[in-house]
Amino acid sequence: MSTAGKVIKCKAAVAWEPNKPVVIEEIEVAPPQANEVRIKIVATGVCHTDLYHLFEGMHKDGFPAVLGHEGAGIVESVGPGVTEFQPGDKVIPLFLSQCKECHLCKNPRTNQCEVAWTRINQAIMAGVESRFTCKGKRVLQFMGTSTFSEYTVINQTAVAKIDPAAPLDKVCLLGCGICTGYGAAVNTAKVEPGSTCAVFGLGAVGLAAVMGCKAAGAKRIIAVDVNPDKFENAKVFGATDFVNPKDHDKPIHEVLTKMTSGGVDYSLECVGNVQVMRSALESSAQGWGVSVIVGWTDLHDIVIRPVHLISGRTWKGSMFGGFKSKDGVSKMVKDYLDKKLKVDEFISHNMTLDQANDAIELMKNCKCIRAVMSVSPP
């Protein structure tokens, strides 16, 4: 029997309050309204940004919420005015909209979108609208997506249609981490062939940045992390050197400057730590070095000296790897299917939605690259 136009009752992992385990609950998912799409989520990755909201940001108004923003699924039904999608389409939800009509979407210099700023309440990292209720309470949709649920409802500007041949339990990772790191190197830093790069932090985003540096033709890619166990993973994606700051009695930027006779051409910070952001900037070469902030945090200010920039360095920020979301994700899926992009290698654990807390603990304790949870049968 068709579920179109009806409320769907399904399982979801609900974060009722900050710094507490999520709870597998039965929630109600309303039908899509105008310009919305209801999606059956097949698989989702667990990203550090989910943990940031739960354990670090902990905004009191950001709960209860269903976390998850790195998923893939199948369109179940569409609301009035939706022409781009139809039931049965394979899709990836997007935390960053691409309406294709605003002045930002039409500007090739940015991947921002005016709709993104109206769709998401940045302070609480949740959608302004929510189609979720649980036990009579409104439940927020994290980043407007909420992929830790068997069904979700999303504005059509924040959904990418993908090749029907794509395996959803793999390409779900293109909804955030891989595109974020890879694009930061290729689109934002614009790494050049023959260059030297340093990537700070070797989680999934950092490993994707390493992969992007290699794809762009960098000859030397220095992977920086305090966990030496991560170097073998980094080599798989193209790293040529590994530096553990704990092995040195000098600041890491001094170590890298000496290693490279003056600093790297490109540095990418993939941790979300303001001290590391400064170290990455100082590790880039005076005169021409480019440093990109990729890791997310909104808790602290960065302190630098003006001379760090006056000397000729360029400091950039990158959201979602600079990809215009709908276009970028669809192309990255095609590149994966054409074997031009590694994705499977990021998946260290396969789990189920019922194991959401176990997956969160793996990420929290740096015991995985990416855990992918099976949410619904395809």
pLDDT band at residue 116 using 50, 70 and 90 as cut-offs:
confident
Residue from 32, 240, 15 nearest 139 by CA: 15
Residue from 32, 48, 120 nearest 80 by CA: 32
Residue 332 resides in a domain: no
Per the structure, the count of domains in the chain is 2
Q: Over 90: is that where the pLDDT of 295 sits?
A: yes
pLDDT band at residue 1 using 50, 70 and 90 as cut-offs:
low
What's the pLDDT score for residue 299? 83
The average pLDDT across 162-172 equals 98
CB 186 within 8 A of CB 353: no
Are 249 and 297 part of one and the same domain? yes
- Which pLDDT tens digit goes with each residue over 37-68? 999 999 999 999 999 999 998 898 999 999 99
- For residue 279, CA distances in Å to 255, 267, 274 come to 11, 9, 9
Are 118 and 192 part of one and the same domain? no
Side-chain-facing half-sphere of 223: CA atoms under 13 Å = 30
C-alpha 368 chain-centroid distance: 15
Are 12 and 146 part of one and the same domain? yes
Q: Over 90: is that where the pLDDT of 378 sits?
A: no
The average pLDDT across 215-236 equals 96
Are 361 and 298 part of one and the same domain? no
Domain residues for 55?
A: 8-175+342-374
Are 75 and 203 part of one and the same domain? no
> What is the model's pTM?
0.96
- Which pLDDT tens digit goes with each residue over 320-362? 999 999 999 999 999 999 999 999 999 999 999 999 999 999 9
What's the pLDDT score for residue 208? 98
CATH number at residue 349: 3.90.180.10
- CA atoms of 53 and 309, how far apart (whole Å): 31
What's the pLDDT score for residue 130? 97
Are 90 and 147 part of one and the same domain? yes
Task: Provide the mean pLDDT of the chain.
Answer: 96
Residue 171 resides in a domain: yes
The average pLDDT across 92-121 equals 95
The backbone region for 154, taken as left when phi is positive above 0, alpha when psi lies in -120 to 50, beta otherwise, is: beta
- Which pLDDT tens digit goes with each residue over 187-199? 999 999 999 999 9
Are 354 and 309 part of one and the same domain? no
The average pLDDT across 77-97 equals 97
Query: What ranges in the chain are assigned the alpha helix state H?
Result: 48-51, 114-119, 168-171, 177-183, 204-215, 231-237, 252-259, 274-283, 307-310, 325-337, 356-364
Are 151 and 210 part of one and the same domain? no
- CA atoms of 272 and 14, how far apart (whole Å): 25
Residue 21 resides in a domain: yes
Are 165 and 270 part of one and the same domain? no
- Which pLDDT tens digit goes with each residue over 24-39? 999 999 999 999 999 9
Our CA angle for 155, 158, 52, nearest 5°, is 110
Pull the structure tokens for residue 178: 């891989």
Residue 334 resides in a domain: no
Grouping H, G, I as helix, E, B as strand and the rest as coil, residue 177 is helix
Are 36 and 164 part of one and the same domain? yes
Are 200 and 250 part of one and the same domain? yes
- 138 DSSP 8-state letter: E
CATH number at residue 186: 3.40.50.720
Are 53 and 171 part of one and the same domain? yes
Residue 331 resides in a domain: no
